[in-house]
């Protein structure tokens, strides 16, 4: 396993992050525990979850279920908690009563304590804001995060789904308070979704914020979707529409991967890993085979020529703003 620093921190995390959103709704607790054990056996020490994970329509699970599954796994001992860099998130409403969501000081305190209880731990290594809260001032947010830090309940703070100017504003507000501020940003980022290259990625690079891409396979589009459909795998109506719209690019991409002798999903992850501002893409396997397959991405080193070819197949916005659209 390869390790890298989380943004500008001294914290070392694996270059693949285990996403746990499937734990509970789609992956049983027993299989989830096996997957987390397998992750540690393969050197993956970076786990990501969220307080709302665990619920999906018709599955009978509930908000917080995923954190509970992880907490019971920690409870087995054997150094499991000590080996994991644990990241969770807050923002979405956990109930129907006022102040059960977003980033007021009250909800930050309550949400953190509830996550700690479900996770069966005394601290969260990386506490992430799942979305920007336009209704709460940064001084209030940072005051609440500072209090949790002083109490030893969180160590680092990250963001998710922030715009570039949100990252700048948040970190400038933290700097005025002599607080470390954001050290990571989870963004939707993949070969076929490169909008963040305009301003989010440059902002992260400038502030020393590590990028943690979510949906690195474009919701399955970059995972060999054409081959899977040909083999009889059903695609959702929305996925089929996307495939029809992007078929020439997908065909070119899958042919490119076939010429390399690599699985499309692994190439998509390797492309993200080639970007120095990327800390670790989040992989969200629903079974052990998917998890083990993702490890191959760490061994793929794309040449400059191959990176150029991928840019031609999946062009980005043209680089950072303003050069992407102006001089």
Check 53, 127, 149, 156 and give the catalytic one. Answer: 53
With CA atoms as reference, report the closest residue to 150 among 123, 128, 126.
Answer: 123
CA distance 327 to 321: 10
Q: How many CB atoms lie within 10 A of CB 251?
A: 12
The DSSP result for 152-193, as a single string, is TSEEEEEEES--HHHHHHHHHHHHHTT---EEEEEEE-BTTB
Residue 220: exposure state from Cβ atoms within 10 A (0-12, 13-18, ≥19): middle
DSSP, collapsed to helix, strand or coil, labels residue 311 as helix
Q: Is 53 a catalytic residue?
A: yes
The DSSP result for 282-300, as a single string, is EE--SSHHHHHHHGGGGG-
Residue found under tokens 């793929």:
300
DSSP, collapsed to helix, strand or coil, labels residue 58 as coil
Catalytically active residues are: 53
């Amino acid at each position: 396993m390869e390790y890298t620093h989380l943004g500008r921190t001294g914290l070392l995390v694996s270059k693949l992050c285990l996403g746990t959103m499937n734990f509970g709704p789609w992956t049983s607790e027993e299989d989830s525990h096996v997957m987390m054990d397998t992750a540690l056996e393969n050197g993956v020490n970076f786990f990501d979850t969220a307080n709302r994970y665990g619920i999906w329509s018709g599955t009978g699970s509930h908000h917080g279920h995923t954190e509970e599954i992880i907490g019971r796994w920690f409870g087995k001992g054997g150094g499991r908690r000590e080996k994991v860099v644990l990241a969770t998130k807050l923002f979405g409403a956990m109930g129907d009563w006022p102040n059960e969501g977003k980033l007021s000081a009250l909800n930050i305190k309550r949400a953190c304590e509830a996550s700690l209880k479900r996770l069966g731990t005394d601290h969260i290594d990386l506490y992430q804001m799942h979305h920007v809260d336009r209704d709460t001032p940064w001084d209030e947010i940072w005051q609440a995060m500072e209090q949790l830090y002083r109490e030893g309940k969180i160590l680092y703070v990250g963001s998710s789904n922030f715009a570039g100017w949100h990252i700048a504003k948040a970190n400038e507000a933290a700097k005025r308070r002599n607080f470390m501020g954001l050290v990571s940003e989870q963004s939707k980022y993949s070969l076929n979704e490169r909008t963040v290259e305009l301003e989010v990625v440059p902002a992260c690079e400038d502030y020393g914020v590590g990028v943690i891409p979510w949906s690195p396979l474009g919701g399955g589009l970059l995972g060999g979707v054409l081959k899977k459909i040909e083999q009889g795998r059903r695609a959702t109506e929305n996925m089929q529409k996307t495939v029809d719209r992007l078929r020439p690019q997908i065909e070119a991409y899958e042919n490119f991967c076939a010429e390399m002798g690599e699985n499309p999903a692994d190439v998509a992850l390797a492309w993200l890993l080639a970007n120095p501002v990327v800390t670790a893409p989040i992989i969200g396997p629903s079974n052990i085979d998917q998890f083990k397959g993702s490890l191959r991405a760490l061994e793929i080193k794309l040449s400059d020529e191959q990176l150029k070819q991928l840019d031609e197949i999946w062009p980005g916005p043209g680089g950072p703003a303003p050069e992407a659209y102006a001089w």
